[in-house]
Structures are given as structure tokens and as C-alpha cells.
Amino acid sequence: MENISELKQRLNAVTQTRQITNAMYLLATSRMKHSMQNIDYNLSYMRKLRFAIRDIVSKTKHNALSDPFIELTEGGKALFFVITSDKGLCGGYNTAVVNMAMQKMEEYPETVLYSLGLKGTELFAAQGMTPDDNWYGASQKPSLHLARQIGGQIVDLYDDCTVSEVYIVYTEYVTSTLQRPVCKRILPLLRRDFDDVDYHPQNDTRLIYEPDPEQVYNEMVPQYITGLVYDILMQSAASENAARMNAMQSATRNADEMIAKLQEKIHAARQLAITNEITEIAAATSAEGAV
Amino acid sequence: MSTFLLEVITPEKQFYNGDAEEIICETETGQLAVLREHAPMIASLVVGELRIKAEGAWKSAYVEGGFMETERDHVTVFSEFCEWSDEIDEAKALAEKEKALHNIKHSANIKEHREHEISLARSMARLKIKNHKYNG
């Protein structure tokens, strides 16, 4: 039988851990709710933006736009932008994203790797890979400012032909219990990317472009990319918090089980000790009586 | 006066959603006024002012580029950032302008130079909108 004071010490430790995991669970829940609101709004913005781009694409003949965005050039370098968290304790959230990124990167002879999130950089380093650029301290607070920085950098790299394809690997938020890693092509934008837009043109009138189609399009695409990156950053943050929420919820549940077991053991040990004492006293009394 | 539905949206929030009588925005080639029944158009906007006339009164806002889509009775402005003229922080804009002016002289390459030029344009547009007085 175990020592009572040792058991009590362990009970204390588990109770304290449970308090921490429970607090982290509550924190992750409130953060997740916060990012959900932003996601909802941004989704309606993106829907309208996609609609407008679809409108332009369908009202413009194929060769009228000699834009650099809408064609796929093969054989160039591919940029992979991998979004993970800065902190751990969120279950398999980071490993799932990194595994997916490594799998996809094998398909390309030459890749450039950008890592957002400390954990991603660590996991890549464990595989002997060094990201070409790292971004830290942003995974919990996705801002539009950051999205514009990232979007701008991506478009610049694409513009000066350093890379010919850009992918973002992130965790898509489906529900609070389901998040899945996704590899999304950001550039080049293809016409078919807009095929799924629910689009019913009311009339076939020609659009007027001010000043001209190309310039409008060149303004629109970077803005679309920024919106997309912002959406992805927020989804990642929501997924991270959901993953942490689930991890902390099960940790709290495990702690509860351990506490119950330890308490049982303590009771058993105490009862055993009392029984022993009574037996000893009884034995001593009968021994005295015998004298 | 006949009105149309105006939506001004950014990735973060819905900046304006309501009826408007007229709007004036700034494009590459100059100012552009839009009334109801405007022909379908897509216009690229520059960093500058967006003036909205609703219920007879003009309001002025700072718009950080983007574009505008017009249909007969529906106008949508997509921009990454918008703020009303009375929300503009004048001291901050002034400081940004000074900083950009300083940086332009000391930029190491064309790319940096361009970035500083953009931030100069943004701060100057803010100041202009903030200090603009309209006669009715």
C-alpha cells in the first residue's frame, strides 16, 4: 500500500494541473469565439469580392487581359507558406500541418519555405529543414496589417518571377471539433478558381473600366490576395484555439479521473491504517489481559 | 432625389451600408461622381477621399485604394482600409508624413523608396481630408 502523505502530495499536484488546464480551456474558448466573429464578417467580404472578380472575368474575353496572374507557368520554384502556432499544448495541430507541407513539397523539385509560427520552424528543424523566412508572434493575433505584409511579399516574389507558384498550408476550421490541414494555391489565380461562385449575370451589358481592364485587375488581385491571407490567418487562429480547447478539455477530464482514483486510494490507505491500529490496540489489550 | 444602395466594405468591417444620393471618389485619372442609374462600371481607386451624399448632407472618408463596382441601383466599394474624416488622427498623420519625407531621402533602394512614397501619399491624403472645408 502506498504512503498516505505521498498520495496526498500527488493529489495536490494533479489538482493544480487541473486548474491550469481548465483555465487554458476557458481562455482558448473565449479566443475562439472572438476569431469566429471576424471570420464570419470576412467571409461575406470575400464572397462579394469573388463575385466582383467573377463578374470581370466572365465579361472579359480570354485574351483581353494579358494579366500575369491568371496563367500557370510550370517548372518554376514553388513557395510554401506554412502556418503553425507559436505555442504548444494544442494536440496534433502543428504536426498535421507540417506533415502535409512536407508531403506536398516533395512534389516540387525546387521550393522556398516560409514558416509562420515558432512550432512550425522547430518541427521543420527536427527534419533537417531550415525555413527561408520566419514570422513569429503573430499566430494568436492575426491582423489585417500582417495580412497585407504577407500578401505584399507574396505578390512581390511572384511579380519578379522568384517563384511561379504560391501555396499556403494551414488548418481549415470546419467545426469546433473538426479542423483539417489544407494546402491552398494562392497564386497563380486561375479562371476556374472562380467557377464555384454563385453567379447569375442579370444582363450582358459591357462593363466600363476606369481607367482600363488591366489596371483594375492589377488593383483587384493583390487586394483579393490580402483578403484571402487574412481569412487564412484567422481560420488558423480559430483552429489553433479549437485544437487547444479540445486538448485542454481532455486533459482536464483526465485530471478529473486521476483525482477520483487518487482520492479512492487515499481513503483505502486511511482505512487500512485505522484497521491496523485497531488490530494493534486489540492485540495489545488482549495481551495485557493475559498478563 | 433618387438614391441607390451604397456598400463600402473592408476585410475587417462593413464601413457603410445604406442609401446614398451621390458619391465622389478619386481614380487614377481624376475625380469621379456616381449617381443612380450609372452604367455598369469597375473603377480602380487611388489612396484618397470618398465623399458620400446621403439625406442631403455630405460626409467625407479616407479610403486606402481599392476599387468600386457600380450597377444601376447598387454601388459597392471594396477597400482594405477606410475611416471617416473625423476619425483621422491629425497628429499621427503629421508624424507619419515627416517620417516618410525623412525616409524618402534615406532609402537604400528603389523598393524602399516606393514604400516610403506610398506612406507619404497616405499621410498627405489623410491630412488633406482632415483639413478640407466644404461650402455646403
A210 and B39 within 8 Å at the Cβ level: the answer is: no
Chain A residues whose beta carbon lies within 8 Å of the beta carbon of residue B63 = none
Cα–Cα distances (Å) from A124 to A95, A129, A139, A154, B81, in that order, read: 10, 5, 17, 21, 35
Q: Tell me which CATH homologous superfamily contains domain B4-85.
A: F0F1 ATP synthase delta/epsilon subunit, N-terminal (2.60.15.10)
For residues B44 and B28, is the Cβ–Cβ distance under 8 A? yes
Among the listed ranges A45-54, A199-208, A263-272, B73-82, which one has the minimum average pLDDT value? A199-208
Check residue A252 and give its pLDDT. 94
* Shortest alpha-carbon distance between residue B13 and chain A (Å): 7
> Kind of pairing, strands A78-83 and A165-175?
parallel
Domain chopping of chain B, boundaries = 4-85, 89-131
Q: What is the pLDDT of residues A212-265, one digit of tens each?
A: 777 787 788 888 899 899 999 998 999 999 999 999 999 999 999 999 999 999
pLDDT at B135 over 50: no
pLDDT at B67 over 90: no
pLDDT at A96 over 60: yes
Q: What 8-state DSSP symbol labels residue A178?
A: E
Chain A interface test: which of B26, B42, B79, B119 (most A C-beta within 10 Å): B42
The larger pLDDT score, comparing residue A72 to residue A82, is at: A82
pLDDT at A1 over 80: no
Q: Give the residue from chain A lying closest to B78, CA to CA.
A: A49
A209 and B42 within 8 Å at the Cβ level: the answer is: yes
* Shortest alpha-carbon distance between residue A16 and chain B (Å): 39
Neighbours of A139 (CB within 10 A): 22
Full set of structural domains in chain A with CATH? 24-246 (3.40.1380.10)
Contacts across the A-B interface (CB distance below 8 Å): 82
Asked whether this complex has an ipTM greater than 0.90, the answer is no
B80 and A219 within 8 Å at the Cβ level: the answer is: no
Check residue A211 and give its pLDDT. 79
B28 and A215 within 8 Å at the Cβ level: the answer is: yes
Q: What is the pLDDT of residues A279-290, one digit of tens each?
A: 999 999 988 877
A52 and B41 within 8 Å at the Cβ level: the answer is: no
Chain A residues whose beta carbon lies within 8 Å of the beta carbon of residue B81 = 144
Q: Which amino acid is at A159?
A: D
Neighbours of B135 (CB within 10 A): 3
Residue B123 corresponds to which cell in the numbers above? 499621410
| pLDDT (mean) for A33-60 | 80
